[in-house]
Amino acid sequence: MKLRFASLSLLALGLLATVPAAAQGYYYSNGPTNGNLYAWAVNFGSTVSDTFTVNVVFNAEITGASFGMWLLPGDTLSSAELSITSSENGGTSYFDQTVSFFQSGCVGNQYGYNVCTETTNLNGPDLYNGTYWVNLQNASVTNGDPVYWDENFGGPSSYALGQSLASENTVGTIPSESFTLYGVQTYATNSTTTTGTGTVPEPGSIMLFGSGIFRSGWHAAPQVVLTSG
């Protein structure tokens, strides 16, 4: 059973995320980064997936994203596989690429991790109205340490819009994470069709560090929440 802790000033991480230059439009937010609840591994075979909704007159082109991540002190997230699919880590794949990140706003938490905002530019797909899944896996730091996605239960803005559903490939349903998606509306010829390229990510077959952060013999560590918008 994991312990609950009062939030620190880490909420600022979600609010001060650096917006990619090519992605200035706020599109979808799943709430601010918490940094004190729990976090789910997104490497060593673990994949974490969260839903987001598209509700626009014309297609929405996804141009960037930011995530709340937990890293060991001194680590920098170099890349991760990011995909957008029609179902939980599967179904039709609209985007699937290994992307690089810009790291900012790192703040240490009581578990000894740095909670950082990780931002990326995307040459993403055009998505029409509907619900989609954003998936993170195969995250990489130069020294091979684990990387965790912050859990925030969706946050206030997410509850107002309808909280994101979330899952981990070996555990199943989990609370949702902190992430923000950026984008612009596009005047596609066929605005009722979602377009994109990529392959459906395969679930990892081996999970070396477990689904979340755990302190052996103590308690489960908090997860970092991602917001989209």
Higher-confidence residue: 192 or 117?
Answer: 117
In a domain, 4, yes or no: no
pLDDT at 83: 97
Pair 79, 101: CB distance under 8 Å: yes
pLDDT at 113: 97
HSE of 103, CA atoms in CB hemisphere, 13 A: 17
pLDDT per residue as tens digits for the range 40-77: 999 999 999 999 988 877 778 899 999 999 999 999 99
In the chain, the number of structural domains is 1
Please name which of 222, 227, 229, 228 lies closest in space to residue 33, comparing C-alpha atoms.
227
Give me the sign of the Cα torsion angle 155, 160, 166, 172: positive
In a domain, 11, yes or no: no
In a domain, 7, yes or no: no
In a domain, 9, yes or no: no
pLDDT at 26: 56
Helix (H/G/I), strand (E/B), else coil: 194? coil
In a domain, 98, yes or no: yes
% of the chain residues with pLDDT over 70: 66
Higher-confidence residue: 123 or 229?
Answer: 123
Pair 226, 150: CB distance under 8 Å: yes
% of the chain residues with pLDDT over 90: 51
State yes or no: pLDDT of 193 exceeds 80: no
Q: Which residue has the tokens 């000894």?
A: 112
**What tokens does 158 get?**
């997410």
Please name which of 118, 104, 31, 134 lies closest in space to residue 67, comparing C-alpha atoms.
118
CA distance 175 to 173: 7
In a domain, 16, yes or no: no
pLDDT per residue as tens digits for the range 115-161: 999 999 998 888 988 899 999 999 999 889 999 999 998 655 444 44
Confidence band, pLDDT 50/70/90 cuts, at residue 223: very low
Confidence band, pLDDT 50/70/90 cuts, at residue 175: very high
Q: Which residue has the tokens 């960037």?
A: 64
Average pLDDT of the residues of the chain: 75
State yes or no: pLDDT of 196 exceeds 60: no
pTM greater than 0.85 (yes/no)? no
- The parent domain of residue 114 ranges over 23-220
pLDDT per residue as tens digits for the range 9-42: 343 333 333 443 333 465 788 888 999 999 999 9
Pair 119, 64: CB distance under 8 Å: yes
pLDDT at 164: 86
In a domain, 30, yes or no: yes
pLDDT per residue as tens digits for the range 88-118: 999 999 999 999 999 999 999 999 999 999 9
pLDDT at 54: 86
In a domain, 15, yes or no: no
Higher-confidence residue: 121 or 206?
Answer: 121
Radius of gyration of the chain measured on its C-alpha atoms: 16
